[in-house]
C-alpha cells in the first residue's frame, strides 16, 4: 500500500468527517471516494439501508459533535466494531459493568422509570432549544417522543391489566351500578310495605315482628334482583351476588 494512497484516504476522511477505516471500506464496496458525486450517491444508498439503531447512532454523534469531539470519535470507532448485532452497536455508549445494580422490578417499577426518563428527556430538550443547536434538538426531540409514546403505551397496558384483574372499574360504571342497586332496593322496600304491612301490624311481639319482617324482605329482594335483569337498568350479576351475600339470601 503506497503512502500516497494512504495520504489521499486521510484527506478524504477529513473532508467527509469519516474515519479512514470507513473510507477504505467504501472503496472495497465499489465507491469512487475521489469523486464527490460517487460519494454522494453511495452515502444516500447507505442511508436508505440503515436500520433504526444506526440512524439513532448518527443522530447522537451529530448531537455530541459540537461539544465533545472525543466522545464522537469513540462512538464512531465503536460503531465500526459493533458489527451487525444491534446489542453490540448500542454497547459503545455504556457497558454492562458500568450500570448500577438492578433495582425494583415489575410493571409498576418500569412505569416509574419511564416517567422519570420522560421528564429528564423533556428537560434536556428544553435546554437544547435554548442553545439552538439544530442537530442536538432533533436527536433529543426524537428521544423524548419515543419516551412519551412508550410511557403512554405502558400506562395504558397497566391500566388494562388492573381492570382485567378486577382491581379497578371505570368510575362511570361504578356510579351507574350504585344507582341501579339503590333504585331496586327502594322498589323492593316499597313492595315489602305494600304486601306485608297488614301482617306486620297484627304482630305484637317485637322479636317475632323483626324475624318475620327480615324473612319476608329477603324473599322480596331475591325476586326484585331477578326482575331487574329483564329491564334496561339491570343490576349486574356479580353485583347482585354481593347484595344476596349481604342479606344472606340462598
pLDDT single digits (tens) 51-62:
555 566 666 655
Alpha-carbon gap, residue 20 to 70, rounded angstroms: 16
Count of CA atoms in the C-beta half-sphere (13 A) of 47: 8
Of these ranges, 77-81, 152-156, 226-230, the one predicted with the greatest mean pLDDT is 226-230
pLDDT digit string (tens) for 12-54? 888 877 788 878 877 777 778 778 887 777 777 666 555 555 5
Alpha-carbon gap, residue 125 to 119, rounded angstroms: 10
Would you put residue 17 in left (φ > 0), alpha (ψ -120 to 50) or beta? left
Asked if the model's pLDDT at residue 68 lies above 50, the reply is no
Percentage of the chain modeled with pLDDT above 90: 8
> Are the CB atoms for 239 and 177 separated by under 8 Å?
yes
Tell me, yes or no, if the pTM score tops 0.75: no
> Are the CB atoms for 118 and 147 separated by under 8 Å?
yes
Mean pLDDT along residues 155-174? 68
Amino acid at each position: 500500500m503506497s503512502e500516497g494512497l494512504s495520504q489521499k484516504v486521510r484527506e478524504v476522511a477529513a473532508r467527509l468527517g469519516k474515519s479512514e477505516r470507513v473510507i477504505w471500506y467504501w472503496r472495497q464496496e465499489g465507491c469512487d471516494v475521489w469523486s464527490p458525486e460517487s460519494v454522494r450517491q453511495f452515502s444516500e444508498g447507505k442511508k436508505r439501508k440503515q436500520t433504526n439503531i444506526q440512524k439513532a447512532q448518527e443522530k447522537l454523534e451529530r448531537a455530541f459533535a459540537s461539544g465533545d469531539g472525543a466522545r464522537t470519535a469513540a462512538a464512531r470507532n465503536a460503531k465500526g466494531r459493533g458489527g451487525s448485532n444491534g446489542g453490540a452497536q448500542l454497547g459503545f455508549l455504556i457497558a454492562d459493568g458500568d450500570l448500577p445494580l438492578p433495582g425494583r422490578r415489575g410493571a409498576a417499577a418500569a412505569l416509574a422509570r419511564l416517567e422519570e426518563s420522560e421528564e429528564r428527556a423533556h428537560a434536556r430538550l428544553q435546554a437544547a432549544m435554548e442553545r439552538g443547536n439544530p442537530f442536538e434538538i432533533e436527536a433529543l426531540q426524537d428521544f423524548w417522543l419515543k419516551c412519551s409514546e412508550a410511557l403512554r403505551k405502558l400506562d395504558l397496558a397497566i391500566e388494562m391489566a388492573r381492570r382485567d384483574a378486577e382491581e379497578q372499574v371505570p368510575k362511570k360504571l361504578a356510579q351507574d351500578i350504585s344507582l341501579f342497586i339503590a333504585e331496586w332496593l327502594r322498589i323492593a322496600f316499597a313492595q315489602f310495605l305494600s304486601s306485608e304491612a297488614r301482617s306486620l301490624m297484627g304482630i305484637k311481639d317485637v322479636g317475632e315482628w323483626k324475624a318475620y319482617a327480615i324473612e319476608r324482605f329477603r324473599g322480596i329482594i331475591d325476586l326484585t334482583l331477578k326482575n331487574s335483569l329483564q329491564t334496561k337498568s339491570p343490576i349486574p350479576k356479580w353485583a347482585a351476588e354481593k347484595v344476596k351475600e349481604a342479606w344472606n339470601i340462598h
